[in-house]
Amino acid sequence: MIQRLAPCRPIPCHGVALLPQSSPNLSALHASFVDRLIVRWELVIEHHIRLKQAASPEDVSELTAQLLTQCEAVDRELLALRDQVHEAGERLPLDRLVETYGLSADESAILQLALMPLFDVSFRTRIARYNNNILFDFVDADLALSLLYANRPERLNARAMLTTEAPLFAHRLLVPVAAKDPKGHGLIAHELRPPERLADFLLGRRTLDASLETFATLRDPQFTLSDVILPEGALAGLEALVANLEGPGPFPVQRGLLLQVVGAPGTGKTATAEGLAGRLNRPVLVVDCAAFHAAPGDGARWAENLIAEARVQGAVLVYDRAEGLFGRECVRRATMIRELGRFGGLAVLTVTDPDALDPALERHVSWQLNLEMPDVEERHKLWELFVPDGLGLDEDVDLEDLASRYEITGGQIHRAWEVAERRAIANRGAKEAPRLGQSDLRVAAMDQIRASMEDYSVRSKVSLTLEDLVLPEKELGLISEVLEACQNRVFVMSKWGFGKRLVTGKGLCILFKGEPGTGKTLCAEILASELGMKLYQISIPKIVSKYIGETEKNISKIFSSARANHSMLLFDEADSLFTKRVSVENSVDRFSNMEVNLLLQEIERFEGICILTTNLDQNMDDAFARRIQFKIDFPFPEPEYRGLIWKGLIPAECPTDPDLDFDELGQNYELSGGHIKNAVVRAAYRAAGRGGHITARDIELAAEQECKNAGKLFRTASQGETW
């Protein structure tokens, strides 16, 4: 047997920085090391070519002595290069491979020989010369054993290294491929073909197998665990789990670790996986599971290549949106699950709906991390974390206010910063440094809110203010107090710490009660307009369902959508939904009580603004009283306020008699604001149909009809004191 390189020695690698590619000096060292390896194997194969031409035993001895001298010189160069790499705080990729897969010196030599044609095509010419046949220009098992072992018994014994259970084949460092024109039959005549990516790996380059590029990406992590906002205790748990997988370098051959990260889109699942990779000083190999499932081709081969790629690169394997590949209906899931079971490294599944996964995957999952919507403190950290570099912020920017005001995910916060920055650049131009104010960030945050409430509600849009609201001074004062509470709610909860102290009841629940038409709904619309918020008027018939459990689902969806939408909720005629609970005598009673219980819980947990209106508050469940911070009674308007309502409802653009007496209208017609509105519009239609302006008679006729509809007495001024 010829002399071979000494077995690779393990070198401590703690604290080595993760490099996207090798630094220029290291790249040169890796290239020089591989060049010396090629020279060494060229010497070996040339030696064997000359041995076939040797005429006597003396010639063989002379050639052998010459080879040993030349190899010793090359070995000294190789060892010097290895020492230089170690001094740079790195390890030779070949040493990593040997240690990771537990290769013996002979197995390492076979792998090196098989790699030579990938480094230098001229090596194939030397192989053909050795075989004395231009067709046999590849490394097969026969060539490897013949160059390494001097006699047949040694070669026969060495065949154990080329079985499917041995490291070279078991870890797919070599793949036996049947040659087109083989020397003979069986494994001995098969080409020993290594993955092409191994050649780049030995050169210190990070490249991805070309067959994986359509659905996988190899990159350095963009985050570390310190950049990821995790639930309390999760960080320590994760670090303890992965402590023995710290890189760089290929993963050790052992039982791997599969983590499952579950959460809604934007909650940081992929960021957590990348943070783990950053913590372990390893690259990340991200698989688009939907693209893998849809791509035409040999899925089994891709699955094998993917695992081999992650192992050789020492990469954390991330299956993004894992439902697309490991779902119950995916035909490729079984192959991938089998290959995943052979992976000795760290793999992470990011999942939105864990129930959609194949149950067979569960036995491989070591730990599951559940990520929920971030709370106020976590959102505040995320707003601070994603501030773009070089971006100027005005003095009014209050990130804590944004965190309290907008219940959005980390992904949405990141995109809000991007949107706001792009708008600032567009507004100021490329020459000026972009600056952002609080209003810019609020608009960008609102742009990220996409939850729809149209299925269960109607959005109300008004442009009125409190000045348009006609109420007695006492009630107007209460409404102003409600507006102040709504305006300062975020400040009190975040700046004054009430949000940390209070478990529930962080929102505002307001009850407006009074006769129909007294302005309850209008007041809610004006409040929303003053606050610059969307107001959604809940449609009770769309919520209540005859099917068991559907009403509760609809209620939950309304409140979750309102949180996401930063919207104000209006339950008009709330007594029809918030009814008193009753003694359970049948299943209908039980489910009715369940609906009320759920409403009570949702209102208490809701951190926004919820307004209830009713004219039958005595029918509402008593438990709502504790949850209502403001209760305002809207009285039936007195004559003076009715006159103001008559006057305020007629627009300035509308032509009217100059002598209209609004105070007299207020005295003569005992109508609420809602009925007065109907009368004014009716009079306008009458005048427009006549082609003239609104007269006193138009108003009187319309008002009289509204009184009849409402069952109210009235006084007709044009006919004296007739009642």
pLDDT in tens, 310-367: 887 888 999 999 999 999 888 898 889 888 887 878 999 999 999 999 998 988 898 9
Sorting pLDDT into bands at 50, 70 and 90, what band is 9?
Answer: very low
Strands (E), 238-366: 257-263, 284-288, 316-320, 346-351
How far is the C-alpha of 46 from the C-alpha of 49, rounded, in Å? 5
CATH class of 376-451: mainly alpha
pLDDT greater than 60 at residue 7: no
pLDDT greater than 60 at residue 15: no
How far is the C-alpha of 32 from the C-alpha of 397, rounded, in Å? 55
Alpha helices in 472-586, H assignment, sequence order: 473-494, 498-501, 520-531, 540-543, 550-565
Strands (E), 45-86: none
Give the model's pLDDT for residue 14: 27
Give the model's pLDDT for residue 722: 41
Sorting pLDDT into bands at 50, 70 and 90, what band is 2?
Answer: very low
Q: 311 with 343: CB under 8 angstroms?
A: yes
Q: Which of 208, 272, 242, 244 is nearest to 21 (CA)?
A: 208
Higher-pLDDT residue of 451 and 269 is: 269
Architecture of domain 639-710: Orthogonal Bundle (1.10)
Give the burial class of 601: count Cβ atoms within 10 A of its Cβ; 0-12 exposed, 13-18 middle, 19 or more buried: middle
pLDDT greater than 50 at residue 394: yes
Higher-pLDDT residue of 457 and 501 is: 501
Maximum mean pLDDT: which of 56-65, 213-222, 244-253, 450-459: 213-222
Give the model's pLDDT for residue 482: 93
How far is the C-alpha of 41 from the C-alpha of 144, rounded, in Å? 11
Helix, strand counts (H, E) of the chain: 30, 16
Q: List pLDDT tens digits, range 522-540.
A: 999 999 888 888 888 887 7
Give the model's pLDDT for residue 91: 85
Q: What angle (nearest 5°) sits at the alpha carbon of residue 275, between those of residues 254 and 173? A: 35
Give the model's pLDDT for residue 8: 32
The SS3 assignment for 694 reads strand
How far is the C-alpha of 604 from the C-alpha of 509, rounded, in Å? 9
How far is the C-alpha of 78 from the C-alpha of 33, rounded, in Å? 6
Give the pLDDT mean for 544-561: 78
Give the pLDDT mean for 566-594: 72
Q: List pLDDT tens digits, range 623-640.
A: 777 788 899 999 999 999
Q: List pLDDT tens digits, range 206-246.
A: 788 888 889 999 998 887 887 788 877 788 888 888 877 77
Q: Does the domain spanning 216-371 belong to CATH 3.60.70.12? A: no
**CATH 1.10.8.60: which residues of the chain?**
376-451, 639-710
**CATH 3.40.50.300: which residues of the chain?**
216-371, 466-634
- In percent, the amount of the chain with pLDDT more than 70 equals 91
How far is the C-alpha of 379 from the C-alpha of 389, rounded, in Å? 19
Give the model's pLDDT for residue 20: 39
Tell me the CA distances in angstroms from 109 to 41, 43, 176, 191, one per residue in order: 10, 14, 16, 16
pLDDT greater than 60 at residue 43: yes
Q: Which two tokens stand for residue 673?
A: 């604001």
How far is the C-alpha of 262 from the C-alpha of 268, rounded, in Å? 9
Q: List pLDDT tens digits, range 146-198.
A: 999 988 999 999 999 999 889 998 888 898 998 877 777 888 889 999 988 88
Q: What is the DSSP pairing of strand 257-263 with strand 346-351?
A: parallel
pLDDT greater than 90 at residue 38: yes
pTM above 0.75, yes or no: no
Q: Which fold has domain 466-634?
A: Rossmann fold (3.40.50)
How far is the C-alpha of 117 from the C-alpha of 125, rounded, in Å? 9
